[in-house]
Structure 1
Amino acid sequence: MLVPFEVAKGTYALQLNAGAFGSLTLKINVTEQGTYKTELSAEQPNMEGHSDSTFTYNLTLANRTASKQQYALTAEPPAGWDARFSSGGNNVTAVDIEPNATSSITLTLTPSEKAEAQTYKIPVHASNSSTAADVTMEAVITGTYGIDLSTSNQVLSANVTAGGKRTLELSVKNTGTAELTNVSLTNTAPTDWEVTFEPKTIPSIKAGESVPVTATIRSSDKSLSGDYVVGLTAQAAEKSADAAIRVTVKTSVLWGWIGVLIIVAVLGGVYWLFRKYGRR
């Protein structure tokens, strides 16, 4: 027995007449009024996070029509944002739903890195040529993360003698609109080199503020003359920044004078030998 979709919720009595065999009364309980509509709803349509957050919404698409439907899924995010639908663990752009059945769909929104702090409304559509449904998601961007690491004078080069040390004044700046927390300083340096920071960890940096850090670079006493690269990293819980310092190692002046003295001594020895044995 097919119950028309327009029948209202309630209990209905039907009389079956079997002629000479008598009649039978049936009662049918309609628990929900049918429609010819498609319904699209979200478990939690409003979410909040930073610009580098990922917003995930759980949607339910219900086919209330009398036939199987294929729905195209689309969203209208702001420019620079990415919107992806998935169902059953697979990315989809459309879903098939049997009559009076539902499908669970996940919408994942990735904001633009330049998204400003405000509330964004993202219309979502499930549609085909005969029926459609819409719902609007909200993504509240509370701030953006940004960090910059450089020297105080913006010069990313230094000189040092083999086995010597050089001190650099660094600046760690919060270039975003949200506070940075637990900023640690680390490095990658040539073998047998040593780099220390003061302070090594910064508890927090408020938006727009800078914190000075002193880095001490000590080269290996076995380093040959030439250019070396020391990598510095400021790593926050939310964001990180790198700086590459070109360090030029020069031969110690002491060894230069020792070389000069050796040459003078050799020349002096040759001259003495020449004077002593040269006329024989």
Structure 2
Amino acid sequence: MACFSALLIIVFLSLSPLNASAQGTPEGASFTASLLNIEAPVNETFRYQTTLKNSSGQAQVYELKAETPEGWRLAFKARGSQVTSLNVEPGKTENLTIEIRPAYGAKPARYSIPVQAIADSETLDLELEAVVEGSYEMELTTPSGRLSGEITEGEKAEILLQVKNTGSLPLNEITLSSQTPPKWEASFSPSEIQQLDPGKSVDVIATVSVPDKTLAGDYVNKFTAKNAPSTSTATYRMTVKTSMLSGGVGILVILLSIGFVFYLIRKFGRR
């Protein structure tokens, strides 16, 4: 009798896993990622390349779901389009890109992102991890915040700019460039900043040269500070004035013209 009972227990234990497999995920079905853990700055997009495999004997439509921290954005992309579900043929696999954008100002930490692919007969789970480092951010402005000035045609002007590290990570190899009106020239001192720590700023002098005979008026100059992960542009408006010499020459020409006309009137008017 004891042997018979032991035999029943062995049979029961051997059958139980088979029943669980039939009711749960089919053998071989999977939802996997090439990288489960990605580390990046808070202002970058975390991209995970995943594969969804359907090992059942029929096509499955998988509903795609994920749980993200508040303020975070997540998108599933397949075959170049954003999707919320994916049809996978029997015995086939589909590549799926999961793009996660952290919330603005998310604190540096390790975040778990549970993802699910849900079909009628199965639920496939995938646990992703996003490690937020911090942020690369900079601001190019002036110490006073004023972005306008005056200059006389044919002269040079020095503009005091300021590069600020407004992120939480150091900025390296920052270069400065300009976009000026035709024939204008601009140079920077310094022209490159090797390293700028978070919360720090560096003053930069931009020297702008205006060609002779530039018409009076307002002109726009764009100054840019840039490194690999971040860029900031300041639009600086400059009002060009005519030089006193040019103005004096113009007045003299006008007076000479008037005098010449008056002379002709008097000379030929008598005839």
Paired residue for 2:48? Answer: 57
Task: Note if contact 2:59-2:87 (Cα within 8 Å) is conserved in structure 1.
Answer: no
The structure with more radius of gyration: 1
Corresponding position: 1:141 with 2:132: yes
C-alpha distance in structure 1 between counterparts of 2:232 and 2:94, whole Å: 43
1:96 to 57, 71, 88: 88
Task: Note if contact 1:184-1:200 (Cα within 8 Å) is conserved in structure 2.
Answer: yes
Q: Which piece of structure 1 moves more, 39-48 or 60-69?
A: 60-69
C-alpha distance in structure 1 between counterparts of 2:257 and 2:203, whole Å: 52
Deviation for aligned residue 1:267: 8.5
After superposition, what is the alpha-carbon deviation per residue over 1:94-115, rounded to whole angstroms, capped at 9, x for unaligned? 233537x665543232334433
SS in 2 for 1:35: helix
Corresponding position: 1:35 with 2:21: yes
C-alpha distance in structure 2 between counterparts of 1:95 and 1:132, whole Å: 14
2:234 to 239, 243, 263: 243
Paired residue for 2:151? Answer: 160
1:74 to 61, 65, 90: 65
2:212 to 204, 218, 221: 221
Corresponding position: 1:203 with 2:197: no
C-alpha distance in structure 1 between counterparts of 2:53 and 2:184, whole Å: 65
Note closer, same or farther for the CA distance 1:222–1:134 as it changes in structure 2 (3 Å cut): same
TM value normalised by structure 1: 0.75
Note closer, same or farther for the CA distance 1:65–1:35 as it changes in structure 2 (3 Å cut): farther
Q: Tell me the percent identity.
A: 36
C-alpha distance in structure 2 between counterparts of 1:42 and 1:221, whole Å: 63
Paired residue for 2:179? Answer: 188
After superposition, what is the alpha-carbon deviation per residue over 1:195-250, rounded to whole angstroms, capped at 9, x for unaligned? 11001111121111101100011111120111111111111111101111111111
Query: Greater helix percent: which structure?
Result: 2
C-alpha distance in structure 1 between counterparts of 2:112 and 2:181, whole Å: 51
Task: Note if contact 1:185-1:197 (Cα within 8 Å) is conserved in structure 2.
Answer: yes
Point out where structure 2 has 5 or more consecutive residues left out of the alignment. 1-13, 264-271
C-alpha distance in structure 2 between counterparts of 1:255 and 1:88, whole Å: 65
Task: Note if contact 1:82-1:109 (Cα within 8 Å) is conserved in structure 2.
Answer: yes
Point out where structure 1 has 5 or more consecutive residues left out of the alignment. 1-5, 10-31, 273-280
TM value normalised by structure 2: 0.77
